[in-house]
Amino acid sequence: DIQMTQSPSSLSASVGDRVTITCRASQSISKYLNWYQQKPGKAPKLLIFAASSLQSGVPSRFSGSGSGTDFTLTISSLQPEDFATYYCQQSYSAPRAFGQGTKVEIK
């Protein structure tokens, strides 16, 4: 099974900061990597699919990059509504594993 590892597990940042979250797969998954945002008490929301494609309606300050085993989610200028937990997820093969999550907190 493919394992997904995110780093860091949490971070503190200020409004306006540039934030980068990393996700690493235990084997190559090409570009089959998705990113989700989850706020407390809510279902996850798709942000990025296929490593770098922005889901419709998602602000352009979110971007994704990477291929193979190493991927990055970047928030170019952190906004108050972006404080949440972010998960990566591989869609290369079953089981569809998620990373353990990265909690973005207010500094």
Partner 1 sequence: QVQLQQWGAGLLKPSETLSLTCTVYGGSFSGYSWSWIRQPPGTGLEWIGEISHSGSTSYNPSLKSRVTVSFDTSKNQFSLKLSSVTAADTAVYYCARLSSGWPKWFDYWGQGTLVTVSS
Q: Which residues bind partner 1 (CB under 8 A)?
A: 1, 31-32, 34, 36, 42-46, 49-50, 55, 87, 89, 91-92, 94-101
Q: What distance in Å separates the CA atoms of residue 6 and residue 82, rounded to the nearest whole number?
A: 18
Q: Residue 83 or residue 98: which is nearer to partner 1 going by CB?
A: 98
Pick 59 or 77: Cβ nearer partner 1? 59
Q: Is 29 exposed, middle or buried (0-12, 13-18, 19+ CB in 10 A)?
A: buried
Whole-angstrom distance, CA of residue 76 vs CA of residue 93: 30
10-13 and 102-106 strand pairing: parallel
Decide whether 17 or 63 has the Cβ nearer to partner 1. 63
Rounded least distance, CB 85 to partner 1, Å: 8
Q: How far is the C-alpha of 3 from the C-alpha of 21, rounded, in Å?
A: 17
Smallest distance from partner 1 to CB 76, Å: 22
Q: Which is nearer to partner 1, 39 or 107 (CB)?
A: 39
Give least dist CB 14 to partner 1, A.
25
